[in-house]
Structure 1
Amino acid sequence: MFYLSVAVKLTIGFICLLLYLNISGRTQLAPMSATDQIGNYVLGAIIGGIIYNPGVSVLQFIAVISMWSLLMILTRIIKTRNLDAKGIIDGKPVLLVDHEKILTDNFRLVNLSVPDFLLKLRQNSVHNLAELELVWIEPNGQLTIQKKGETPISLALIEDGNINRFNLDKAFRDEDWLMAELGKQGIQDLSEVFCAEWYSNVLTVYRYNPQVEEKENDGAEQAK
């Protein structure tokens, strides 16, 4: 009876895990953020701890894993729709090198030691601090690096209808300028914008697909 209960719980855990990945839109459990990391730890603890606990029924197991999955999906939706909330939950990128100047206070802010920083640089094929133009650490701990003489990195100024103020500051632009540029392209509301990329002093705006389809339909009608 014990092994039957374990087999049933294991099967349910596997099915719930697949459903969670499909519903949340994730294709793998590899963490992209601190929230994902915590979610994986807790999910593993729930499945591993309850499977071998005969005091927890199958229905209780389903209830617990469902509640945690719903909480993770809700958190993911909130992060996608609100960059400020995402910054609070996952943290924000932190600039470490700004136009060749090393920002030592920011190293303390993210608890990054010099040996760890140099190791991360070597992993990105950078072997000399003098090569650096811009460096910032992402919320997941990875470095984004721009070397001297390289073409500036593209910056997403708008993501999912939300202004990315960190990137806007790096582009030396403000919100008034951004809204004026959107107005020139016939966009009055941020909710119309899927992504706006700043690259080589050019702002390229990508709208949500329904609006693209409407434009295509309008063009087809005019052609007729």
Structure 2
Amino acid sequence: MSEGLIVLVRSIIAFFTLLIFTKILGKQQISQLTFFDYVLGITIGSIAASLTTDLSSRAWPHWVGLFCWSVLGYLMEYITMKSRYAAKYIEGEPTIVIMNGKIMEDTLRKMKYRVSDIMELLRNKDVFDLVQVDFAIIEPNGQLSVLKKPEYDNIKAKDMNVVCQPSGISTELIYDGILIEENLRQLDKDKNWIIDQLHAQGINDISEVFIATLNPAGSLYIDKYEDHIKKVTDIGDYKGPY
């Protein structure tokens, strides 16, 4: 039997095996996959590829590996459906990263996120200014859910016959306690100006500021390291292992 024919037969076997296993697993849409589902899918696909093209070894060990991974994936799905405790440990829970307009720096550090990552996710949600955000939540699948402040909701200005001036994209002036003077100059501002703005909000030193941004319309957003939020909202649905 030629190598081409062997690959053809193995491809057919791998194709229908994957088809059967994915139907059994009943996976969600790609946009809803958790990190565990993502890794599981890559691993199963890699094993199927080896089953198809690795002619240096017999087919059945690859098929056994494919079968075992699929069974374990199905078992994990069954466990997470039956136990919220296990689901929280395996899949994770949504985590608030912006609360009442304040960035939760400690939460970002625990999740190994940078504020620039959050701002990128916000832009993907058509939010270009931190001033607009009331709550932002990282979902278990890595996506960001955003609740805007009431004054920045999605009511269109044209529906109310209101003429709005463009606000532009916010520019970082302070990042992680460090002043970005080049950005200040681009906005025709200087260090004394930002210091005066900080003093007006009771902030004595730039090092107290986690991030500060300014948009061309003049809207200044300042977030301190110490936000003094007395009670952090917990949106988890079960008190699991963490």
Normalising to structure 1: TM-score of the pair? 0.63
Unaligned stretches of 5+ in structure 2? 155-233
User: What residue is the counterpart of 2:229 in the other structure?
Assistant: none
Deviation digits for residues 145-175 of structure 1, max 9, x if unmatched? 1111159xxxxxxxxxxxxx73459xxxx9x
Q: Is the 8 A contact 2:95 2:139 kept in 1?
A: yes
Q: CA offset at residue 27 of structure 1?
A: 6.2
Q: Is the 8 A contact 2:94 2:236 kept in 1?
A: no
Deviation digits for residues 63-91 of structure 1, max 9, x if unmatched? 22111111111111112222221221122
Alignment of 1:36-75 (within 5 A): 36-75=37-76
Q: Is the 8 A contact 1:96 1:137 kept in 2?
A: yes
**Whole-angstrom distance in 2 between the partners of 1:65 and 1:141:** 27
User: What residue is the counterpart of 2:170 in the other structure?
Assistant: none
User: What residue is the counterpart of 2:136 in the other structure?
Assistant: 135
Alignment of 1:33-182 (within 5 A): 33-149=34-150, 166-167=235-236
Choose between structure 1 and 2 for higher RCO, CA contacts under 8 A separated by at least 6 residues.
2
In structure 2, give the amino acid aligned to 1:62: W
Q: CA offset at residue 60 of structure 1?
A: 2.9
Percentage of pairs with the same residue: 27
Unaligned stretches of 5+ in structure 1? 152-164, 175-224
Please identify the structure whose Cα radius of gyration is greater. 2
Cα RMSD (Å) of the superposition?
A: 2.5
**Whole-angstrom distance in 1 between the partners of 2:29 and 2:98:** 32
When you count helix as a share of all residues, which structure comes out higher?
Answer: 1
Q: Is the 8 A contact 2:94 2:138 kept in 1?
A: yes
User: What residue is the counterpart of 1:182 in the other structure?
Assistant: none
Q: Is the 8 A contact 1:95 1:137 kept in 2?
A: yes
Q: CA offset at residue 126 of structure 1?
A: 0.8
Q: CA offset at residue 49 of structure 1?
A: 2.1
**Whole-angstrom distance in 1 between the partners of 2:121 and 2:30:** 23
**Whole-angstrom distance in 1 between the partners of 2:10 and 2:95:** 43
Normalising to structure 2: TM-score of the pair? 0.58
The total of aligned residue pairs comes to 157
